[in-house]
Structure 1
């Protein structure tokens, strides 16, 4: 990827600063989120068993369920435990040509999964031992692609932090709301 020219960088920086000023509320003034979190993120798998071996055996994310996809008979829908009540899910679509993984506008760039620093070091070694090409950034981020090409990041920063900066108010999640009256 070629870096943009300095004038373009300056213009983009000005737009980013305008957006920060207009929309980013100071910490402590932000309302609680209406969401509890991401229930699951679902990707497509071209080979169920290969995906299970990679996520469960290499990355140590336990498989928690493997069921038939209710929307596509014969297809599987399966889930891995990412900890903290988060799931990573997959579908396969046998007989349907979905093509290779591609990063496209509006599509997935990467999934960043938080792991404790000691586990990050162990998983970094497991990824290397499995022969998976990977890159390390800032000694807290490990980037690699899963067997179908999805970009995964294992990050050792605590939840709510990014490269040592707090980006989320601690305990900012909203409690379960009361049922709607209407």
Structure 2
């Protein structure tokens, strides 16, 4: 079996192993991070009200602030509580002719938000009832796109864990 661009997947695995041996540190060998956590991640919204309805009403992330963007007159900067003192923020840019969302190098691939397993089931049912196309993986991950096309993941694994493996 070959991977992207007909490069054998064995080469990818070899490169990952080399990078891990060079840079990956575990336990006591890993220095403490200089960061305190993600204050917020900011995405672009094509319609403020539509975004609020999606994130607050459908996904149940409370809207916590709604202010003018200090960098662009008329733009709204708004925030949702995604738990654990983390915020998901948005900007709209009225009057700018922005292209639709697309994944590009250096751009956003997805935002993964940890939710309790019971809440994960509940939100999966709400997404289905709202006819939001969802891709489920490993029994703990739901991938879908928000109204502007950004890929969102709801993951039932605890923070610091990925598919049953401690990553932090």
TM-score by length of 1: 0.89
Alpha-carbon deviations, 1:11-52, whole Å to 9, x = none? 111111111001111222211101000000000000000000
Structure 1 portions without partners, runs of 5+: 169-182
Displacement of 1:108 in angstroms is 0.4
Correspondence 1:1-182 to 2 at 5 A:
3-4=3-4, 7-168=7-168
Q: Which has the higher contact order (CA 8 A, sep 6+)?
A: 1
Kindly tell me: are residues 7 and 96 of structure 1, through their superposed partners in 2, closer, same or farther at Cα, counting changes over 3 Å? closer
Question: In structure 2, how many angstroms separate the alpha carbons of the residues matched to 1:105 and 1:5?
Answer: 17
Equivalent pairs counted in the alignment come to: 167
CA distance in 1, matches of 2:113, 2:154: 5
Quote the RMSD (CA, aligned, Å): 1.3
User: Which 4+ residue blocks in structure 1 deviate beyond 4 angstroms?
Assistant: none
CA distance in 2, matches of 1:6, 1:160: 34
Unaligned runs of 5+ in 2: none
Q: Report how far residue 3 of structure 1 moved.
A: 3.8
The separation in 2 between residues aligned to 1:86 and 1:121, in whole angstroms, is 22
SS in 2 for 1:121: helix
How far does residue 149 in structure 1 lie from its aligned partner after superposition? 0.2
Q: Provide the rounded CA distance (Å) in 2 between the counterparts of 1:9 and 1:160.
A: 27
